[in-house]
Amino acid sequence: MKALVLSGGSGTRLRPISYAMPKQLVPIAGKPVLEYVLENIRGLGITDVGMIVGDWAQEIIKAIGNGSRFGLRITYIRQERPLGIAHCVRLARDYLAGDDFVLYLGDIMLDGDLSAHARKFAECRPAASIIVRQVRDPRAFGVIELDAAGQVRRLVEKPSEPRSDLAAIGVYFFTAEVHRAVDAIAPSARGELEITDALQWLLEHGARVEAERFGGYWKDTGRVEDVLECNRRMLGRLVSRVSGEVGPDSELVGGVVIGEGARVIRSRIVGPVAIGAGTVVEDSEIGPFTSIGQHCTVRESRLSDSIVLDDASILTVAGLHGSLIGRGASVAPGGRGEARHRLVVGDHVRIEIAA
Quick one: DSSP state of residue 36? H
Name the pairing type of β-strands 142-146 and 152-157.
antiparallel
Query: Of 269, 266, 243, which Cα lies nearest the Cα of 256?
Result: 269
150 with 166: CB under 8 angstroms? no
Exposure on the CB side of residue 215, measured as CA atoms within 13 A: 4
CA 21 to chain centre: 13
Query: Of 343, 302, 346, 303, which Cα lies nearest the Cα of 328?
Result: 346
| pLDDT tens digits along 246-288 | 999 999 999 999 999 999 999 999 999 999 999 999 999 999 9
d(CA 321, CA 97): 49
- Sequence-separated (6 or more) residues with CB below 8 Å from residue 297: 279, 280, 282, 312, 313, 314, 315
| pLDDT tens digits along 87-140 | 999 999 999 999 999 999 998 999 888 999 999 999 999 999 999 998 888 888
d(CA 181, CA 186): 10
DSSP for 246-314 reads: E-TT-EEESSEEE-TT-EEES-EEESSEEE-TT-EEES-EE-SSEEE-TT-EEES-EEES-EE-TT-EE
More confident residue, 294 or 343: 294
112 with 38: CB under 8 angstroms? no
Q: Residue 10: its pLDDT value, please?
A: 59
Q: Residue 304: its pLDDT value, please?
A: 94
Residue 105 falls in which region: left (phi positive, over 0), alpha (psi -120 to 50) or beta = beta
The H helix count followed by the E strand count for the chain is 9, 32
d(CA 114, CA 287): 33
Q: Residue 148: its pLDDT value, please?
A: 80
Name the pairing type of β-strands 101-105 and 2-7.
parallel
Q: Residue 335: its pLDDT value, please?
A: 53
Q: Residue 275: its pLDDT value, please?
A: 96
Helix/strand/coil for 153 = strand
Q: Residue 233: its pLDDT value, please?
A: 92
d(CA 314, CA 330): 6
Helix/strand/coil for 12 = helix
Q: Residue 16: its pLDDT value, please?
A: 60
**Per DSSP, what are the bridge partners of residue 314?**
298, 331
DSSP for 160-223 reads: SS-S--EEEEEEEEE-TTHHHHHHH----TTSS--HHHHHHHHHHTT--EEEEE--SEEEETTS
